Amino acid sequence: MNLLIIRLIIFAVVFFAGLKLYRMYREWRLAQEDDTKDTEGGKMVRCSWCKVHLPEQDALRSRGEWFCCGEHRDKYLAELTDHPDDQDDPS
């Protein structure tokens, strides 16, 4: 009878230790998933000047176009004002 009680106590300790480890693993895993969601950055867009892809939240938007920095936006818009005939050409 004493051996049965000892086995039940050992089983209970092992079971609760395993349950505790599983809960710790699950919390760690959820924390890792939250970290990767923060670094993903969402939708990617392409700079109209240099064609580099970057996260939409880091990009600048002007006249319906995406840019990686203000310098590229200014160059692109200056090029459009220098050649206004090119944007109306359907070909």
Residue type, 61: R
Nearest to 62 by CA among 44, 88, 80, 85: 80
- Write out pLDDT tens, residues 26-56: 999 988 877 665 555 578 999 999 999 998 8
pLDDT at position 1: 75
Residue-wise DSSP of 10-24: HHHHHHHHHHHHHHH
The backbone torsions φ and ψ at residue 47, rounded to the nearest 5 degrees and listed phi first, read -65, 130
Enter the pTM of the model.
0.47
Whole-number pLDDT of residue 39:
52
For residue 7, pLDDT over 70 is answered with yes
